Amino acid sequence: MSEQLRVGMVGYAFMGAAHSQAWRTVNHFFDLPLSARMSVVCGRSPDGVAAAAAKLGWESHATDWRSVIERDDVDLIDICTPGDTHAEIALAALAAGKHVLCEKPLANTVAEAREMAAAATEAQTRGVRAMCGFNYRRVPAVALMRQMVADGRLGTLRHVRATYLQDWIVDPSFPLVWRLRKEVAGSGALGDIGAHIIDLTQYVTGQSISSVTALTETFVSSRPLPSASSGLSASGSEEFGEVTVDDAALFLARLDGGAIATYEATRFATGRKNGIRVELNGSLGSLVFEFERMNELSFYDATRPEAEQGFARILVTEPVHPYMAAWWPPGHLIGYEHSFTHEMRDLIAAVAEGTNPAPSFTDALQIQLVLDAVSRSAESSQWTKVEPV
């Protein structure tokens, strides 16, 4: 590790903390040609970003992301901000010759995503790399699922079922945070968590969504305004604002490889905290992944003798499983944060090797086009084709 990849991160809340953990640990477990250096973290609050830098392990801090892009000791910009800022930061970073990691969804609109994808494609000609952060595809069980499908273990794929269930806004007194405002977040459950299961299913199947029919719903139309200091509503607040995003999104889809699919993304599934489930049914078997048991796959092999058939549990902790050789002995489980460490591992390797990391901005644009088709279908109540990239 004679060379460094010097990182400037913009945003330091939930995703910023997860990314910081990954940057801190990636070189301690993976042998990589570049060593990640946490040069600077950026945020709007001087006191907040200073505290975050000390807590999360960054060498310095700033309050203007433009100054971070201009720094000579920064090679890569890691964007962990709300969606309304993704395009401006990413475009400026790419123009300045900085590699970019941008959290999902890529942008708030298709127009922004197209501009970002075009800029990333142009930047590739200058050796600049860009990746969108869909971390769940880096869970070892998910990567193994993809391998098994590609190896033909399920035969002809027929059904895809995907759900992402949360409940953190069930209480109508929960405040109008930025994720509930279209002008900041772009969409609600659809873009926030629905994007993840769109990426997961397309990744593991190797098929892309070609058309959809959808409905979306907003169950609570107004919420208390958050206080300026905490971001949470003050007790007894009588000031309310309009919720301008969906609370839930459901859609049927056709995939370009012939499979049919169902998707459900909601933040109103009472009792569900982060329930992701993907099931694939094929002519030779089935596979099931559930994030609450993220180190496991359930596999039904229809080619086995009748007396031996049934769903079998695969514990994905062996050194031969994706990413696992870097971690603990078999049977010792890993967690949510490891998916981000694997993300940084793949990104560092791509930058060092001069290859394009995945998912690229063009891949993320395709997901943005699916989100757009779902939104348009929900408005028209008709089957809607996904526009081509």
CATH number at 235 reads: 3.30.360.10
Q: Is residue 165 within 8 Å of residue 196, measured between CB atoms?
A: no
| Token duo for residue 303 | 């080619």
pTM above the 0.85 mark? Answer: yes
**What does the pLDDT read at residue 236?**
54
Helix then strand count (H, E) for the chain reads 11, 17
Q: For residue 103, give the 3-state DSSP assignment.
A: strand
Contact 224, 242 (CB under 8 A): no
CATH for 130: 3.40.50.720
On whether residue 212 sits in a domain, the answer given is yes
pLDDT for the residue numbered 232: 55
Beta strand 76-79 with 3-10 is: parallel
The answer to whether the CB of 75 falls within 8 A of the CB of 54 is no
Query: Which residues, in sequence order, are bridge partners of residue 57?
Result: none
Same domain, 90 and 145: no
Same domain, 228 and 329: yes
95 CB neighbour count, 10 Å cutoff: 13
In total, how many domains does the chain have?
Answer: 2
Nearest Cα to 108, choosing from 131, 127, 84? 84
**Domain contains 207:** yes
Q: What is the pLDDT along the chain (389 residues), one digit of tens a residue?
A: 359 999 999 999 999 999 999 999 999 999 999 999 999 999 999 999 999 999 999 999 999 999 999 999 999 999 999 999 999 999 999 999 999 999 999 999 999 999 999 999 999 999 999 999 999 999 999 999 999 999 999 999 999 999 999 999 999 999 999 999 999 999 999 999 999 999 999 999 999 999 999 999 999 999 999 975 455 544 455 799 999 999 999 999 999 999 999 999 999 999 999 999 999 999 999 999 999 999 999 999 999 999 999 999 999 999 999 999 999 999 999 999 999 999 999 999 999 999 999 999 999 999 999 999 999 999 999 999 999 99
Q: What is the pLDDT of residue 60?
A: 98
Specify whether 209 is located in the same domain as 318. yes
Q: Are residues 39 and 159 in the same domain?
A: no
pLDDT tens-digit series, residues 125-155: 999 999 999 999 999 999 999 999 999 999 9
100/167 same-domain check: no
Q: Tell which of 109, 136, 163 closes a domain.
A: 136
**Structural domain span for residue 253:** 140-293+295-334
How would DSSP label each residue in 326-349? GSPSTT----HHHHHHHHHHHHHH
Specify whether 321 is located in the same domain as 187: yes
Residues in contact with 158: Cβ distance below 8 Å, sequence separation at least 6, in sequence order: 258, 259, 260, 281, 282, 283
Let me know whether 179 and 209 are in one domain: yes
